[in-house]
Amino acid sequence: MFLTISTTGTAERPATDLGFLLHKHPDNAQRFSTSHGTAHVFYPEADTERCTAALLLEVDPVALVRRGRGKGRGGAPDAALGNYVNDRPYAASSLLAVALSSVFSSALKGRCKARPELPERAMPLRIEVPALPARGGAELVVRLFEPLGWAVTAEPVPLDPGFPQWGDSRYVRLVLEGELRLAEALRQLYVLLPVLDDAKHYWVAPDEVDKLLASGEGWLEHHPEQRLITSRYLARRWSLTRSALERLELVRLAEADDTEVEEIDNAVDERHDTEEKPVPLAVRRREAILDALRSAEAARVLDLGCGQGQLVGALLEDPRFTEIVGVDVSMRALNEAARRLRLDRMGERRSSRVKLLQGSLAYTDGRLRGYDAAVLSEVIEHLDPPRLPALEYAVFGAARPRTVVVTTPNVEYNVRWETLPAGRARHPDHRFEWTREEFRGWARAVAARHGYAVEFRPVGPDDPEVGPPTQLALFRLGAEASAGTRTETSTGTRAETSTETHSSTTTDTTTAKETAA
């Protein structure tokens, strides 16, 4: 809401030239109506030696909320949360950047009718932004401004002095000092304030790329953080168009629970698993799953907990998989999967092989019956342990595919991840990570209860000490599956055999073999 621009001067070059540059007379307080509230410009000091211009934007909080609603709920993704009580009226946010560009538009363009020579001149500048929202903290602020020739002071603002344990807020008190042309300084602020803010309360117009190019002229092209600046500046566009609709119901549920929406709406991990940079282990995992499915001669396959559809995509590549059903509980993940798979542009023959459904393994689901195989890839660890029996029943008891492939992290391997702090799970939503023994114990018990045989396979490098990073269990219905001589023809006898398996204890591959020997 507030920033000051100061300069110093001499008798020949009085500091009050700032007034000419900004087109605002130092002896008047002026007010301007902008799209988000009233902007005031006044000069706390103005003499030959020192001149300071202050910009104060009074954001109208009530109108801000109404704007969000008026635009329709699709227009402001988190209109339901945060807009009501938010920092916009106080922080030097993207709204202040917009005000800056409209109030000082000539200065920003480097025009000064009265003194055309002034804008060309570099001058000593001191810019103070007392409450600058900065995602990335003071350190990023320095990285963004220092290469532009500023001496940067960025002090973090504590969240609440009454609760020191809460630590620092995302605001910094910023002071920039340097000798620059004013237009350049203003254009840098115009771009970098929203980049640091990184909030979604900013209405992005289609011409945003042009604006960025125009404002970045002369400084952005050589900036070492150019990529970060451009992606953050433009990224907001994507988040607006993509995630607008499906999140709102979840936003409201988060709100009902005094929870941040990120805690609930986290099925799509945007940061780690992107299309451009798939995690290498994920590729190995897919290969292992495909191998298992091929060896089981499965053609009609369920991907339970399909997430963003990576495995579904891989299955589509192999025509032997004639029917692929991706199931996930998150609508957001399913929409993302449909987008990544380009379902709307896929040829009919191909798209007829794939189906995406919202479903939940906390419930039995008639639609999942009668498939050759089901895959639960990195799914079980996202469930609280008390709810695993329901999943077990839904998959092994009710859906009952001939083959089930389950993968889950091997927690023993975590010590081999250099970047993973000890004791930390690989993903914030992991409710547990199992050792090989824990996983095997669970899998054997499940197999015994439901008449499956189970074998285990490593995924990724099988470390002699801690095992592979991912563990895979391959379940096959019926005890005879374990010996690898499955008979798939005589249905009558199979029925009997599988009933027997319920009561027998020899379901694990190894045990079965031992018994046979």
Partner 1 sequence: MTTAKRGLAVPDLSLVVLIGTTGSGKSTFARRHFLPTQIVSSDVCRGLVADDENDQSATPDAFDVLHYIAGKRLAAGRLTVVDATNVQPQARRSLIGLAREHDVLPVAIVLDVPEGVCARRNAERPDRADLPAHVIPRQRRELRRSLKSLEREGFRKVHILRGEEEVAAAEVVTERRYNDLRHLTGPFDIIGDVHGCRSELETLLGRLGYVLRRDPLGRPVDATHPEGRTAVFVGDLVDRGPDSPGVLRLVMGMVASGAALCVPGNHENKLGRYLGGRNVRNTHGLAETIEQLEKEDATDPAFRERVREFIASLVSHYVLDGGALVVCHAGLPEKYHGRTSGRVRSHALYGDTTGETDEFGLPVRYPWAEDYRGRAAVVYGHTPTPRASWLNNTICLDTGCVFGGRMTALRWPERELVDVPAERVWYEPVKPLATEGPGGADGRPLDLKDVQGRRVVETRHMGRVAVKEENAAAALEVMSRFAIDPRLLPYLPPTMAPCATSREPGYLEHPAEAFAAYRADGVREVVCEEKHMGSRAVVLVCRDEEVAGERFGTLEGVSGALCTRTGRPFFDDPAMTERVLRRLRGTIGHEGLWEELDTDWLLLDAELMPWSLKAEGLLRNQYAAVGAAAGAAFPGALAALESAAARGVEVTALLGKQRERASDAAAFTEAYRRYCWPVGDPRRGWPGEERETGRRAVGARGTDGLDGIRLAPFQILAARGRSLAALPHDQQLAMIDRLIEREELDVYANNSICAFTPTYVNRLLAPTRRLVVDTEDEASVAEGVRWWLELTEAGGEGMVVKPLQGLVRKGDGRLVQPGVKCRGREYLRIIYGPEYTRPEHLDRLRERHLGHKRSLALREYALGLEALDRLADGEPLWRVHEAVFGVLALESEPVDPRL
Task: Tell me which of 142, 240, 281, 331 binds partner 1, using CB under 8 A.
Answer: 331
Give the shortest CB-136-to-partner 1 separation in angstroms. 15
Task: Tell me which of 400, 426, 444, 450 binds partner 1, using CB under 8 A.
Answer: 400
Give the shortest CB-22-to-partner 1 separation in angstroms. 15
Please calculate the CA angle 381-385-387 and round it to the nearest 5 degrees: 105
Interaction of residue 445 with partner 1, rule CB under 8 A: no
Closest alpha carbon to 60 in 29, 39, 81, 30: 39
Chain length of the chain: 517
| Choice between 162 and 464, CB closer to partner 1 | 162
Interaction of residue 408 with partner 1, rule CB under 8 A: no
| Contacting partner 1 within 199-238 (CB under 8 A) | none
- Taking the C-alpha atoms of residue 132 and residue 129, their distance in angstroms, rounded to an integer, is 6
- Taking the C-alpha atoms of residue 419 and residue 196, their distance in angstroms, rounded to an integer, is 26
Interface with partner 1 by CB under 8 A: which range of 181-189, 342-350, 464-472, 492-500?
492-500
- Which contiguous run of DSSP H or E holds residue 151? strand 151-158
Contact indicator for 374, 305 with CB cutoff of 8 Å: no
Give the shortest CB-313-to-partner 1 separation in angstroms. 22
| Choice between 35 and 515, CB closer to partner 1 | 35
Task: Tell me which of 74, 84, 209, 514 binds partner 1, using CB under 8 A.
Answer: 84
Give the shortest CB-63-to-partner 1 separation in angstroms. 8
Give the shortest CB-242-to-partner 1 separation in angstroms. 17
- Taking the C-alpha atoms of residue 93 and residue 195, their distance in angstroms, rounded to an integer, is 9
Interface with partner 1 by CB under 8 A: which range of 138-146, 276-284, 307-315, 325-333?
325-333
Give the shortest CB-296-to-partner 1 separation in angstroms. 14
**378 contacts: CB under 8 Å, gap ≥ 6:** 285, 305, 407, 408, 409, 470
Interaction of residue 169 with partner 1, rule CB under 8 A: yes
The residues with which 188 forms a beta bridge, in sequence order, are: none
Give the shortest CB-189-to-partner 1 separation in angstroms. 16
**21 contacts: CB under 8 Å, gap ≥ 6:** 107, 112, 115, 118, 119, 182
Which residue type, as a one-letter code, is found at position 289?
I
Pull the structure tokens for residue 428: 């914030």
Task: Tell me which of 221, 258, 317, 418 binds partner 1, using CB under 8 A.
Answer: 258
Interaction of residue 94 with partner 1, rule CB under 8 A: no
